[in-house]
Structure 1
Amino acid sequence: MARVPNPDLGDLRGLIACPRCDLLHHTQQLSDGERAKCARCGSLLIWPRTGAFLHVVAFSFTGMILMIGAIFFPFLKISAQGLSHESSIFGVAMAFSDGWIAPLALAVLAMIVALPVFRFAALIYTLWPLANGRPAYRHSTTVFRLVEELQPWAMAEIFIIGTAVALVKVAGLASVSLGPAFWAFCVLIIVIALKNSFMSNWTIWDAISQK
């Protein structure tokens, strides 16, 4: 495990900024299994792993399938006093599609579905040629930059956590049955966590610039 020191700022080439404290460091090539940490706060900066690109592509493809399926499959069913209602994510969004709250439907679909799917597709576009030892596709730099910039707005994980909290309160008032879409979102959280464990942004940027 390596800690990269604070550099001389006379030459800005080959520098990496800590994502937490913004301390600049000189980059260096690490062997598989080694990690570079920030000298100030200890945040991970570089952690190359063998086959990481292919793993990220596989998890991204899996995430896309889960997300697309979760849109239309039933999410949950609520029953109370002999009445029941079953709905999907798409159905919930469409319920807000009329009148002045129509932008809410777009926001729901964009942040919960569209942005995560786009990020998965963008990662596949960026890493597929690199995983196969070929030059990066055209505009890979722009596409991967979008992946990083849109990360705070892709809220699939936040949605399922918020839903779980809400269901705890609703369960006392009605009978709640969880549908396949709910479990697809739960699996999606695990897939995203596994994907992130293989991602080293600096390694990806370095591979894009060299190919």
Structure 2
Amino acid sequence: MTHPADRTDLDALIACPRCDALYKVREPAHRERAVCARCHHVLIAPRRGAGAQIVAVALTVVVLVVAATIFPFLEVSVGGATNASSILDAALAFSGSGLFLLLALAVAALIVVIPVTRALLVIYVIAPLVFDRRPLPHASSAFRLSEALRPWSMAEIFAIGCAVALVKVADLATVSLGPAFWMFSVLVVLVVAQDSFLCRYSVWKALEREARPT
């Protein structure tokens, strides 16, 4: 656990992103975690080899999202008629004009564009650090943008909504799950795993350290 801050050296302070409690940093050892004493939010959680794992997961997320938009997500059969739909078809189902078009584009961005963008930004930031290279230009801004997009990446919300809809549709028609459904299910798990592996404090410190002139 970190200790409450008792001096004003900003480089030695860390604020809890959940409750704004301020602490003096004491970096934990391997497999230890620094936790906020007020709300128990994990502040620092260094893990050896986490960078390579995060890059691998991010690459897998990109591949799965691209594949999931191509293959059928589900197939509905009723009265002898069959219709297959992909994730993009579902996202753009209400695309027409005006507000409906904006709604369709927003849904597509939340479940496809933003998760891919976050994954690519994470690769851009962390891959050079994994290979002991200096950060790429504007790596700090890229990581800040990735963190800003995190609340708007709603792949798991889409998955929950699909599950609820399938329960209701299953009583009215025959529903077959396509390969994209399983890809998207794995994708949701990987997005959660990526966020759990990522120690943001360690990334910021690595960016600051590597960016300093030698």
Name the TM-score, length of structure 1 as normaliser: 0.94
**Map of 1:26-65 to 2, 5 A cutoff?**
26-65=24-63
Question: Secondary structure in 2 aligned to 1:13?
Answer: helix
Question: Secondary structure in 2 aligned to 1:79?
Answer: strand
2:166 is matched with which residue? 167
Deviation at 1:20, TM superposition (A): 1.9
Deviations 1:95-124 (A, max 9, x none): 433222111221121111000000000000
State how many pairs are aligned: 209
Deviation at 1:14, TM superposition (A): 2.3
Gaps of 5+ in 1: none
For residues 27 and 3 of structure 2, the distance between their equivalents in structure 1, rounded to whole angstroms, comes to 14
For residues 33 and 172 of structure 1, the distance between their equivalents in structure 2, rounded to whole angstroms, comes to 48
Moved more, 86-95 or 168-177: 86-95
Deviations 1:142-167 (A, max 9, x none): 00001111111111111011101111
1:202 is matched with which residue? 201
1:117 is matched with which residue? 116
Deviation at 1:9, TM superposition (A): 4.9
Question: Secondary structure in 1 aligned to 2:121?
Answer: helix
1:148 is matched with which residue? 147
Deviation at 1:75, TM superposition (A): 0.6
Deviations 1:25-69 (A, max 9, x none): 112233211111112222211010001111000000000000011
Does 2:97 match 1:99?
Answer: yes
User: Which residue identity lines up with residue 20 of structure 1 in the other structure?
Assistant: R
For residues 184 and 9 of structure 1, the distance between their equivalents in structure 2, rounded to whole angstroms, comes to 49
Does 2:185 match 1:186?
Answer: yes
Gaps of 5+ in 2: none
User: Which residue identity lines up with residue 21 of structure 1 in the other structure?
Assistant: C
2:85 is matched with which residue? 87
Name the TM-score, length of structure 2 as normaliser: 0.93
Question: Secondary structure in 1 aligned to 2:189?
Answer: helix
